[in-house]
Structure 1
Amino acid sequence: MTQEELAERSGVSADVIRRLEQGRRSGAQLRTLGALARALDVRTSDLLSPDTELDHFDNGDTASLLDIRRILFPAFGADGIPDGAPSTAEGLAAQIDRVQVEHSRGLYQANLSDLTDLIPAVERHVRENPSPEAATLAARAYKILAEVLIQMRHDDLAQDVVKRSMAYAENASDPVLYALCAENAAWIMILHARFADAVATSLHLARLIEPPISSTDRQRLDAYGRMCVRASAAASRNADAGATAEAESLARAAAHRLGGGMVYQMRFGPAKLAIAESENAIVMGDPETALRIGQAVQLRGTPGKRHLLTMAEAQIATRDYAGALATLNGARTLAPEWLKHQRLGRRMVRDLLDVVPIRAARENGLADLAVDMGLRP
């Protein structure tokens, strides 16, 4: 069937059909897909591939979340977990490690695709092999899914995933993993402006896993430092300088015991603490301190990329617009997909568009950056 024939049969314009086939039109309305499905004698769901972009006001998200939603909220009479071949613990652990690497690079669409298969496989493994080890795998997988959903602005959906990850971590009898999973609840609270609740939650988790003074348990120290940093982030957003400083002090003690330099690493240490202190400073209205502390951190690759947004925000606050643009372009080069999902990044691009003349924006690349992030220059 040609595009013209499909247009005539469905009542959808040939131009819209052409754009949909070429992937040049985001925001397809469900009624449009329904008309095409009737014309093709298929179900509307058959046209919903993972990369189908649905209209934001019509459906609110992309079709890539449909399978995840089926798992989290299955049809009545179903459990949401499709049948599949058994998996080994070793194989699942390797898959989770690979997805974690993708996540650190900001490859969220790849994450969703992989997790759509991984979550059911892990659930089947837990059923067939109920054990703390299997529960650990499930907690880790759901933890990554929660963080992907939060980054993609589906934090309400992520709340259920956080609860699942916490339940599995509890079944695994792993208090450190439980705290790391529960930390995402504090993150969501911050996004929902529940700052005092986020402080209380983070400090409660920190107390649950607080290591003894003589402890050399690096995993526990790492998690403890992260909880304290999360508490400081919430306190700074609540304009509570005292609570911010207190939480930073607790995190500083953990960073000192772990050691390490100012080259950013995934594990907690001085570099992660400096990044947190820099972000707290800009939140508290002190961009000069944010720059002074933050510029000492050395990033290597995509981990720590969020720090670039803090630096750009401080540069805008000190009217270093060229520096801010260079920093944002650096973030785009480093993790383009990740940057598109950052609310702060989009806000800063809009701020730059407000102060940079349109001609200059076209010449210095700001206009291109805006278009890439879905903004009109």
Structure 2
Amino acid sequence: MTDVGTRLAQIRRRRNMTQEELAERSGVSADVIRRLEQGRRSGAQLRTLGALARALDVRTSDLLSPDTELDHFDNGDTASLLDIRRILFPAFGADGIPDGAPSTAEGLAAQIDRVQVEHSRGLYQANLSDLTDLIPAVERHVRENPSPEAATLAARAYKILAEVLIQMRHDDLAQDVVKRSMAYAENASDPVLYALCAENAAWIMILHARFADAVATSLHLARLIEPPISSTDRQRLDAYGRMCVRASAAASRNADAGATAEAESLARAAAHRLGGGMVYQMRFGPAKLAIAESENAIVMGDPETALRIGQAVQLRGTPGKRHLLTMAEAQIATRDYAGALATLNGARTLAPEWLKHQRLGRRMVRDLLDVVPIRAARENGLADLAVDMGLRP
């Protein structure tokens, strides 16, 4: 178990503070701090720990709890989600759908397209604001115009909401939204849309470490929509490839090399039929497959392969931003800390709000703070990146 001195040094470094600066801020002598961190002093009085904790802007108990996640990034849980919660879980006697003017199918489709663009750019707060108005409008439209077309609009809107909630770490709330999107897709008699909505269930299973369940779910969905060999249905091929990639991601996290390779092989066949080069596009193809393979490689402990495969992908704009985190993770694993920082800064430039919500990105910045000297962290922008992301030590 980590002792007080080791924990003190870790938090101090993550706060980009030298021993002398901590001494000045806390009133505790630099010699005492040095002895604690070097293990030459086994403990300290509570008032000393309290002074150090206040100077570091943490709780005293945080100095004693090495496994505590010191990340109080709120992500808008209270204010921005309140209206969405009221819609999803209305008070007794209410249906959760506020009154509003009727909307046309064309108008709703245009709104959904715009929200989808926001989502691809990682603008989650804007997403929540727009979805708070869009979801009730879609529900009213379904109520007033029950049809497969209306159900399709509702499924698409709820699918985006589910993905926003997952990205913002509210996957338990997202589970209900996923079910709603699937129900509407089923009412629309659209198996491809149903699979794409249900894919979010597999995503949540991965987040909950239910890897075998996620593999089974993803492959089941792939079989539901598997296109014939001669099929030229790009939408179905795209969805099928996505399901196979999701299965490979779950299998790699389960350390199942055989299942990972099998799912990647299925995805490779779909990518080959779709064609396209290594420039990232929203639709499934060789570039998306390479991104998946590089992520699986880093998960399986092979960062060199992850870099070799992943560096061939050319990103254009924000949609492929998640790949930058995979590359940064591989760079850290190969001790290319300067390269990792450059990659993370590239992600910040591309999608600053999105990066703040990424567990992996936040963990990697902390990892860099642990290994990069304090002076260097101030000079190379790492300290500024940590502040910009709202990181706690």
The TM-score range, normalised by the shorter chain, is: 0.7 to 0.9
**C-alpha deviations, 1:183-233, integer Å up to 9, x for none?**
000000000000000000000000000001111100000000000000000
8 A Cα contact 2:75 2:168, kept in partner: no
In structure 2, do the counterparts of structure 1 residues 62 and 250 end up closer, same or farther at CA, with 3 Å as the change threshold?
A: same
State the 1:45 CA deviation: 33
For structure 2, the 5+ residue unaligned runs are 1-16
On the 8 A contact 1:52/1:64 being kept in 2, the answer is no
Alignment of 1:1-377 (within 5 A): 61-376=77-392
Contact 2:73–2:390 (Cα < 8 Å) also in 1: no
Task: Choose 195-204 or 35-44, whichever is displaced more.
Answer: 35-44
Give 1:309 deviation, angstroms: 0.1
- TM-score, structure 1 normalization: 0.85
CA distance in 2, matches of 1:133, 1:111: 23
Shift of 1:61: 1.9
Shift of 1:39: 33
| Shift in alpha-carbon separation, 1:368–1:84, aligned structure 2, 3 A | same
Change (3 A) 1:18 1:246: closer
- Distance in 2 between residues matched to 1:19 and 1:127, nearest whole Å: 70
Counterpart contact for 2:36–2:43, Cα < 8 Å: no
Q: 1:63 to 1:44 in 2, by over 3 A?
A: farther
Is the contact made by 2:151 and 2:187 (CA closer than 8 Å) also made in structure 1?
A: yes
Per-residue CA deviations over 1:150-182 (Å, capped at 9, x if unaligned) read 000000000000000000000000000000000
- Give how far 1:259 is off: 0.2
Q: Is the 8 A contact 2:142 2:151 kept in 1?
A: yes
- Provide the aligned length of Structure 1 versus Structure 2: 377
Contact 1:294 1:311 in 2 (8 A): yes
Larger relative contact order (CA 8 Å, sep ≥ 6): 2
2: CA distance, partners of 1:323 / 1:308: 11
How far, CA to CA, are the matches of 1:66 and 1:24 in structure 2?
51
Moved over 4 A (4+): 1-60
Distance 1:81 1:43 in 2: 42
Structure 2 CA distance for partners of 1:3 and 1:297, relative to 1, 3 Å: closer
**Offset, 1:372:** 1.1
1:198 touches 1:231 (CA, 8 Å); kept in 2? yes
What displacement does 1:376 show?
Answer: 4.5
Q: Deviations over 1:256-302 (max 9, x none)?
A: 00000000000000000000000000000000000000000000000
Q: Distance in 1 between matches of 2:43 and 2:132?
A: 22
Report the identity percentage. 100
* Cα separation, 2, equivalents of 1:28 and 1:147: 47
Q: Larger deviation: 292-301 or 23-32?
A: 23-32
Deviations 1:349-374 (A, max 9, x none): 00000000111100000000011112
Q: Distance in 2 between matches of 1:52 and 1:65?
A: 26
Distance in structure 2 (CA, Å) of the matches to 1:50 and 1:33: 15
For residues 283 and 37 of structure 1, do their structure 2 counterparts lie closer, same or farther at Cα, with a shift above 3 Å needed? closer
- Secondary structure class of the residue paired with 2:97: coil
Question: Structure 2 vs 1, CA of residues 122 and 28 (structure 1 numbering), >3 Å: closer, same or farther?
Answer: farther
Tell me the equivalent position of 2:3.
none
> Deviation at 1:48?
35
Shift of 1:62: 2.8
Distance change (3 Å), C-alpha of 1:14 and 1:154: farther
Residue 53 of structure 1 deviates from its aligned partner by 19
Which whole-Å CA distance do the structure 1 matches of 2:275 and 2:114 have between them?
27
Q: Would you say the 8 A contact 2:280–2:288 is kept in 1?
A: yes
For residues 161 and 133 of structure 2, the distance between their equivalents in structure 1, rounded to whole angstroms, comes to 12
Change (3 A) 1:316 1:198: same
Normalised TM-score (structure 2): 0.81
In structure 2, C-alpha distance between the alignment counterparts of 1:17 and 1:197, rounded to whole Å: 48
User: In 2 relative to 1, CA 12–364 (structure 1 residues): closer, same or farther, beyond 3 Å?
Assistant: closer
Rounded to whole Å, the distance in 2 between the matches of 1:30 and 1:308 is 43
Task: Tell me, in whole angstroms, the C-alpha distance in 2 between the residues paired with 1:144 and 1:306.
Answer: 17
